[in-house]
Amino acid sequence: MRITISSPDGLGDFVLRMPLFEALCDAGHDLQIFMRPPASELATAAVPAAKIEKIGEDPYARLVRFRRSPFAPELRKIASFAPDLLVIAPFQHSFFDEICLSKLPRRLRVAGFRSADAFWGTLANTAPQELAQRFAMSVEVGAGIPELEKNRLLAAAILGSPAPKKPLRIAPPREAIDGARSVLRQHGIAEGGYWVVCAGSRRGLEIKDWGEANWIAALGQIASETQVPLIFLGNEAEAPSIERIRSGLPKDSEHLNLAHDPPSLLSTFGIIALSAGYVGRDSGPMQLAAATQRPILAIFGGSHWGRFFPESEHAVVVSRGVPCQGCLGYCHLAEPLCVRRVSVQQFLKGWKLLRSEPARKILEIPMDANLRKEIVETAHRRFPRLAHEAQRQVFESGRAVNLLDSASFGVRALARRNYRKKFGG
């Protein structure tokens, strides 16, 4: 069977989707997988039997929704492949998924997820329940089920039999190891003699940000204890934050910032695979560390609680219990207290566990009276402003609709044309 798979999300999502890809490939199906960089770069090496297609525009970018014919080249590639089945792989549908469902022939069978959760998130314009009505083959899941298990269930539904529960492993290709060794030689760092770190902050990561002061204190103690180099991974937007963290570390410690000029994803994968382990936040590199069975110490927020924990036999997850877990990142507080109220001492307790017990541990610090009071007071202060803004937006959007409805057809067409011209549509 020829299967087209929509997989437009991030690197970590791709790693956790590997059991789905492997099960379908092992069953002899021909796969066409649509992905975005950088995950597409790794997929070409990790799933050589599949036809990897790059998505030309970011389906999560706002302006792509105003294009006249979004994803037209991708739709042509799907038509040329002539699939028997379209798989909507993300649990949270994207705008790319929405376009595929609306533009591809209705006779094409579709598989994907359904959920009865009240807060089933979506990144498409159409409600997820409405999009799921198109699915001929669906898997009913709750949001809190780990993504790895969701993907195994989807594979089983497509195959008509349980997908094998193999450990999640991705072997770094030779190109990845060679690229990593080149970087390590350049900086005089020995294989296996360093830890990789993801700790820098940038816009868009606020819900995962522990704070630079916390990272300085925790990594300073880890660096002093291990006396081995720390290699910071990240993109160029995170480089300034990483530099501020590095400036606060002990002067006699060795640390390297690769975010200024990031190596290729394959070289980065090799650097992770050859490391002593991973320390940092929930991230794509963390999932790669899990796939190569590196020891992992990761700090997690509650926004996607339980869904993206590392599938490693040697990992410690540290977080703070809050009553609003599962918020999908739409934090109603001024800062994500599920992350920010993990103390340095509690994080270092996780480090001690990681070093002493090779097992998988979830270290969730329970909510105490002080945190409960802070959440109540912070939410109470913000609620009147949030309620006012929500009411204003409802009023303004309704007024705009009424004005357009009362305008003539010609006026509405002119408004649309000017809008597209303004935004390059």
Residue type, 310: P
pLDDT tens-digit profile of 285-319?
999 999 999 999 999 999 888 899 998 889 999 99
Look at residue 421 and tell me whether its pLDDT is greater than 60.
no
Of the candidates 277, 256, 265, 129, which has an alpha carbon nearest to the alpha carbon of residue 192? 277
Round the CA-based radius of gyration of the chain to a whole number and report it: 23
Q: Can you point out the beta strands (E) in 168-235? A: 195-198, 230-232
Express the helix, strand and coil content of the chain in percent, nearest 5 each: 45, 15, 40
Of the candidates 12, 7, 6, which has an alpha carbon nearest to the alpha carbon of residue 291? 12
243 SS3 class: helix
Look at residue 382 and tell me whether its pLDDT is greater than 80.
no
State mean pLDDT over 385-401. Answer: 66
> Strand pairing of 51-54 and 109-114?
unpaired
Length, in residues, of the chain: 425
Look at residue 400 and tell me whether its pLDDT is greater than 80.
no
pLDDT tens-digit profile of 135-171?
999 999 999 899 999 999 999 999 999 988 888 999 9
Look at residue 256 and tell me whether its pLDDT is greater than 90.
yes
In the prediction, which pLDDT does 420 show?
Answer: 55
Q: Can you point out the beta strands (E) in 266-320? A: 277-281, 296-299, 315-320
Q: Is the pTM of this model over 0.85?
A: yes
Distance, in Å, from the CA atom of 350 to the CA atom of 289, rounded to the nearest integer, reads 17
Query: For residue 349, what is the enclosing H or E element?
Result: helix 344-356
- CATH match for 2-159 among 3.30.1300.10, 3.40.50.1980, 3.40.50.2000, 3.40.50.300: 3.40.50.2000
Q: How high does pLDDT run on average in the chain?
A: 90
Distance, in Å, from the CA atom of 194 to the CA atom of 261, rounded to the nearest integer, reads 19
Question: What single string gives the DSSP state of each residue in 103-124?
Answer: HS-TTSEEEEEE---TT---BS
State mean pLDDT over 355-369. Answer: 89
Of 359 and 280, the structure prediction assigns the larger pLDDT to 280
pLDDT tens-digit profile of 50-78?
999 999 999 998 889 888 899 999 999 99
State mean pLDDT over 122-136. Answer: 92
In the prediction, which pLDDT does 407 show?
Answer: 46
CATH fold, domain 174-367, is Rossmann fold (3.40.50)
Q: Binning pLDDT at 50, 70 and 90, where does residue 187 land?
A: very high
Q: Can you read off the two tokens belonging to residue 299?
A: 């700090």
Yes or no: say if 266 and 41 are a contact pair by the CB < 8 Å rule. yes
- Sole residue written with tokens 């329940």: 129
What share of the chain has pLDDT > 90, as a percent? 71
Look at residue 409 and tell me whether its pLDDT is greater than 70.
no
Residues 6+ apart with CB under 8 A from 181: 191, 270, 274
